[in-house]
Amino acid sequence: MGGLFFIPIGIVVARCISGSSSVELSGVAAITMAFAGIGLLDDVFSIVRNHNYGLPAWIKVILEVKLKMLVPLPAPLGLVSLGRFYVYLTTFCFVSMGNGVNVTDGLDGLAGGTAALAFIGMSIAVLPICSDISIFGASMAGACVGFLLHNRYKASIFMGDIGSLALGGALAAMAAITGMFFPLFISSGIFVLEALSVIVQVLYFKATKYFHGKGRRFFKMAPFHHHLELCGLKEPYIVAVAYAVSLILSLISGYSGLKSA
């Protein structure tokens, strides 16, 4: 549960730099810690039950959907006026980002490094709109880099669900508050790919079982990084390629945000 340490550090550093009067930062911090709370419950359940399964997936999704209500609440947490479509889009972002980072956290350094680059991209993208949110993104990127010193191959500390869900919630919150959804999905491309691989695997298995009587797998194993492992690629190589792709996506995300602001 390494996220118990580096997530609060990122928030505290952002608060120290931007000051205590930032309404936007208060909202992002609240959402991040709320998602961390879901992850903490999940981790605790896993420890108590002595296996890898914590909270049921449907409970986590319901909690993530409910937490998106932190965005439209009146000040100090009410940061933007949301129409119905905006509510749906925000809900989708929180659920997809939280679970996207969560399923990516399967190789040493994979989720932490790609999250750091995603935060950098979003930090650049939102800079013209809200400097405090940009500072938050940079602080979270720095916290992820610090965590990577202990999580790189071979890892001695793991972020746990408390870290992965908090990172996903933080990225989604940055987009929800600033409206930068397009840069979010670009900078978080690795998380999107990993989440989609799980969805495709499940749907393909159920479809082939329905039509052929026996379920078949589209990938050797989901999420996608495990498929690459079973194809013979080494863990450090997979992570290095993911970093390279994330860096490119981060730069594109930052540029698109600056261009559209």
Tens of each residue's pLDDT in the chain, 261 residues:
788 899 999 999 999 998 767 888 988 998 999 899 888 888 787 777 666 555 566 565 666 555 555 554 444 444 455 556 777 788 888 889 988 999 999 899 999 999 999 999 999 999 999 999 999 999 999 999 999 999 988 888 889 889 999 999 999 999 988 889 999 999 999 999 999 999 999 999 999 998 888 889 999 999 999 999 999 999 999 999 999 999 999 999 999 999 886
Domain that holds residue 223: 3-260
User: Amino acid identity of 212?
Assistant: H
- H/E segment holding residue 228: helix 224-230
| pLDDT (0 to 100) of residue 42 | 80
**Count of structural domains within the chain:** 1
Identify whether 154 is preceded by a cis peptide bond (ω within 30 of 0). yes
- Measure the CA–CA gap between 257 and 250, rounded to whole angstroms: 11
- Measure the CA–CA gap between 169 and 202, rounded to whole angstroms: 24
| pLDDT (0 to 100) of residue 231 | 95
| pLDDT (0 to 100) of residue 29 | 92
- Measure the CA–CA gap between 141 and 12, rounded to whole angstroms: 13
Crossing angle of helices 23-49 and 84-104, in 10° steps, is 50
Give Cα separations from 66 to 70, 72, 149, 165, 229 (angstroms).
8, 11, 34, 14, 36
What's the whole-model pTM score?
Answer: 0.89
| pLDDT (0 to 100) of residue 208 | 94
| pLDDT (0 to 100) of residue 74 | 40
Give 217's DSSP letter.
-
- Measure the CA–CA gap between 154 and 109, rounded to whole angstroms: 9
SS3 127: coil
